[in-house]
Amino acid sequence: MILHEFSDDLAHHFHDINVEWIEAMFQLEPTDRDVLENPRARIIAGGGTILFVEAPGLGIVGTCALQKTGPTGFELTKMGVRSTARGLKAGEFLLAAVIARAQALAADPLYLLTNARCAAAIHLYEKLGFCHDARIMAEYGARYARCNVAMRHAG
């Protein structure tokens, strides 16, 4: 697996990979469209980052963003892996890289918002140190109508 930093020529992958998984399970919300159509303005310019994972022979298969939401707070958001790459551990590779980046940025809190229907993703988040957190849900959960799970990285 090869890790790539955000660049404008990779932005379409950020959009397409996320639209694929969101539309397969939910409906795109206005906040989704805003972030996916304007990643440089909504993520990068605000102090966040977007990473991509490339699988040999398959090209870019996954992406994830860290969106700065406070002085030191970051939301792990818009993490997706193409259905054609499931089972290759691309998501785990990507999530570990994003957590390492968040730690390098001294992210506190590092949190994510998701839905219980994303059971495989939740299992992966738990495996790599995220815990369910009612305070994160109360503070940030209203951002998405589909959000019914909030997690914080325990380190």
17-59 confidence digits (pLDDT tens): 999 988 888 888 888 889 999 999 999 999 999 999 999 999 9
CB atoms within 10 A of CB 51: 22
**For the whole prediction, is pTM greater than 0.75?**
yes
Residues 54-96 pLDDT 10s = 999 999 999 999 999 999 999 999 999 998 888 889 999 999 9
Q: Identify the bridge partners of residue 60 per DSSP, sorted by sequence position.
A: 54
- Domain residue ranges in the chain: 2-153
Dist CA 11 CA 22 (whole Å): 17
Q: What is the mean pLDDT of residues 101-122?
A: 92
CA distance 136 to 132: 9
Half-sphere exposure of 153 (CA within 13 A, CB side): 24
The phi-psi region of residue 64 (left if phi > 0; otherwise alpha if psi is between -120 and 50; otherwise beta) is: beta
Domain 2-153 falls under CATH 1.10.1330.10: no
Residue 120 pLDDT: 87
